[in-house]
Amino acid sequence: MPDRFIPRAALAVAAAALAAAAVGAPAAVAATSAGTGGPQAIGGAQLSGRGVIVDYGSSGARKLPDVKASAFVIADADTGQVLAAKDPHGWYRPASTLKMLTAVSLIPLLNPNATVVASKQATSVSPNVVGLISGHAYKISDLFTALLTISANDAAVALAQAAGSFGKGMALINAEARHLQADDTVAVEPNGLDATGQHTSANDMALIARQALRLPAFLKYDQTITATFPVSKKKSVSLYNQNSLLTSYRGAIGGKIGWTSAAGATYVGMARRNGVTLIVTLLHCPALTEIDSAKSLLNWGFAADGKVAPVGTLVSALHSAAPASTPQVRSAAAGAVDRRAAARPRAAAGAVDGRAAARPQAAASGPSTLTTAGYSSVGILAAGLGFAYTRRQRSRA
């Protein structure tokens, strides 16, 4: 079985070639079920397992609840201890939980008071949810609010383009995944809509959520219960947060739901009780079960934290220099390829993400405006390394 955990030094040697190779033709492969991790699995050897992973020891902790998810992680955000997991490094479609990566990547880089002009690419995404209109300017902070409350797919594209172009935005998003050591993750669409070669893992979503907890601006957007989004001078849309954990679970502090017919339900939830902050991530769940499953795992986690032996660790982000310039790059969508053999058939990509119905909008062409600059080739290099990483074969045991 080939080893998917490539030494980072070897990747660095071939960096320039890897960035160029990232634009190769994508393989017709679904990023769905899990492969095996191996002894070098990020976060600890135990996290290479594909089944349920928990170490009760002699603590007498209650049994882990049986949740209907193909993969999950429950972890202490402060200590980084993974309390329990199931197939934590398996590759699955992220659906809209990927918007958390888009947010943590771009919030530190974009001026919240600046605007971006919606392009035809942004307004033609289906479903566009908030209903951006081509040629209209939108405030960055409003777009982030729409992104994280009603899961606006059009807002995600506009935010990626606010980095200068869609390709630059996607390169920055993938570079942040590499920075967080979320090496199971490749982003092709900033909104998480199904795309060839796009995948993540329950472990990676926990790393991304942990970073989100460090960003006050993220939490401000993510915890918004209701807001009004100005679509045009004459039209506004009411935003209602889709993450019902915020209003139905004591101590809930954030999270993100996701859904496509291919990904199933996906979810990230975060809660704090008695000074303990927990993260739960779930991938490939039956529809409408994700919030209840998250509550069950959070209840278990708060009861078990400090009693069960940790089975792994949420690793720290890599140290990196501050970016400085904006080189021209091709879209990450062109290079995100996944060459794993599909382990089980899945529904076709292209399903509708989010539970809000699509509304047709005008699709006139319009430019995207650069609202902030200041990124270096470090980010592009990191994205290239990530793409090469995912081109490795992962065989099932």
Q: Give the span between the Cα atoms of 343 and 94, in whole angstroms.
A: 17
The CA distances from residue 302 to 61, 207, 243, 278, 295, in Å, are 11, 19, 20, 8, 11
What residues pair up with 280 in beta bridges, in sequence order?
74, 269
Please give the C-alpha separations between residue 92 and each of 185, 195, 258, in angstroms, as whole numbers: 9, 12, 12
How far apart are alpha carbons 117 and 139 in whole angstroms? Answer: 9
CA distance 155 to 141: 11
Tokens coding 195: 């795309």
Could you list the active site residues?
96, 99, 151
User: Rounded to the nearest 5 degrees, what angle is found at the Cα of 281, between the Cα atoms of 60 and 75?
Assistant: 45
- Joined tokens for residue 288: 């409408």
First-last CA distance in the chain: 8
Nearest by Cα to 153 from 111, 107, 97, 96: 96
Vertex 166, ends 163 and 171: CA angle to 5°?
A: 75
For the CA atoms of 185, 376, 137, 105, what is the dihedral angle to 10 degrees?
A: 30
- The length of the chain, given as a count of residues: 397
β-strand 115-117 against 81-86: which pairing, if any?
unpaired
Cβ-contact 207, 181 below 8 angstroms:
yes
Q: Tokens 């209209």 correspond to what residue?
A: 136
Compute CA 380 distance to the chain's CA centroid, rounded to the nearest angstrom: 18
Distance CA 102, CA 104 (A): 6
